[in-house]
Amino acid sequence: MNPILKHNRTKIIATIGPASSSKKVVADLISNGCGVFRINFSHGSHESHLEAINNIRAVAAELKQSVAILGDLQGPKIRIGSIVGDGFDLEIGQEIVLDSSIPDEAGSPDGVSYVCKTLASSCEPGRVLMLDDGRVQLEVTAIQGERIVTKVIAGNHLSSRKGLNLKGGGLAEDALTTKDKKDMAFAAEQELDYLCVSFPCCPQDMEDARAMLDYIGSSAKLIAKLERAEVVANQDAIDGMINSCEGVMVARGDLAVEIGFESVTSVQKLIVERARRLNKPVIVATQMVESMIENPVPTRAEVSDIANAVFDYADAVMLSGETAVGKYPVEVVKTV
């Protein structure tokens, strides 16, 4: 039976990375309860992913354990361009321009570049742009072609290639990029069990992903990552996404940036409840025990967060940096 689809206990999904890709660590993770391994296509190469996949399958066979492998596509993550040096600090009230015509390597306090064909047309004065997961917030004051003039309303240090979101959602980029399609072909070759689609904005995006999988001959089950404001705007929107795939993920990182941190808990509970009613597996992800990247024990709040997901009958919780790059990957899985 499929590891995620078993519903008797909440499963643990561990992201593979430099801290956890060796056979020894993989064996320890499996022995301590990890049933699904995540390959994050936002990082690493196909060569490094193949080595990790081979290690997972070899160790699982040695231990006579059934584990699944989940591929997570990068999707159309919108980022600012590169910034000269180590970046710069932004102060509240300061003006800064986002301009697609600025050379990628020339970002400065005067302006930074971006690559998103719909960003300027989606903005209007008063909308807020969230950079670096909301650490920097910019209020749009004017649109001049592809030049977006903004005022800093939450300042912080800004460095190269940070993510960019439009608060409240509305950026309609294609869900599958050229890189995603190459990664899907790799996933098909390696016969991965699940494939997560990042930033889908409607059920049609999942249908397009399904058509791509059918074309390349993959039987992977599709998971929709719910991280755009428009796909969680109401129950009908959530139900539409759940019905378009084999499962959903509450991707709390970008979702929190788009809908506001204060709304995430109630939306998470609604997604989990609707997925259960529609008989689809649901994964809760992002910052489950993030403090354990550096520390051997979790915070009390993290323990409560995991317990909340379990009490709501989430099918799985997913660990990201905690197992991919953290100092204590095995202790993390033991704790969860």
| Strand pairing category for 164-166 and 221-226 | unpaired
Q: Report the DSSP beta bridge partners of residue 128.
A: 139
Does residue 129 contact residue 166 with C-beta atoms inside 8 Å? yes
User: Cβ–Cβ contacts within 10 Å for residue 167, how many?
Assistant: 18
- The single-letter DSSP state of residue 220 is P
- The single-letter DSSP state of residue 145 is T
**Matching CATH number, 11-76+174-335, of 3.10.20.740, 3.40.50.300, 3.20.20.60, 3.30.470.20:** 3.20.20.60
- What stretch(es) of the chain map to CATH 2.40.33.10? 88-166
Q: Which of 10, 11, 15, 38 is catalytic?
A: 38
- What stretch(es) of the chain map to CATH 3.20.20.60? 11-76+174-335
* pLDDT tens figures, 193-235: 999 999 999 999 999 999 999 999 999 999 999 999 999 999 9
Those residues whose C-beta lies under 8 Å from the C-beta of residue 314, and which sit 6 or more positions away, are 10, 250, 272, 282, 283, 284
End-to-end CA distance of the chain: 23
Query: Which of helix, strand or coil describes residue 100?
Result: coil
Active site residue 79: yes
Range 109-147 burial, b when 16+ CB lie within 10 A, else e: bebbbbebeebbebbeeebbbbbbebebbbebeebeebe
Alpha-carbon distances of 1 from 6, 191, 229, rounded to whole Å: 7, 16, 34
User: What pTM, to 2 d.p., does this model score?
Assistant: 0.89
Q: Which of 11, 225, 228, 274 is catalytic?
A: 225
Active site residue 286: yes
Q: Which of 10, 15, 286, 335 is catalytic?
A: 286
Q: Any idea which architecture 88-166 has in CATH? A: Beta Barrel (2.40)
Active site residue 127: no
Q: Which of 79, 127, 179, 269 is catalytic?
A: 79
Class of residue 231 by CB neighbours under 10 A (exposed 0-12, middle 13-18, buried 19+): buried
Those residues whose C-beta lies under 8 Å from the C-beta of residue 253, and which sit 6 or more positions away, are 133, 227, 285, 286, 287
pLDDT in tens, the chain (336 residues): 444 444 568 999 999 999 999 999 999 999 999 999 999 999 899 999 999 999 999 999 999 999 999 999 999 888 899 999 989 999 999 999 999 999 888 899 989 999 888 899 989 999 999 999 889 999 999 999 999 999 999 999 999 989 899 998 888 788 899 999 999 999 999 999 999 999 999 999 999 999 999 999 999 999 999 999 999 999 999 999 999 999 999 999 999 989 999 999 999 999 999 999 999 999 999 999 999 999 999 999 999 999 999 999 999 999 999 999 999 999 999 999
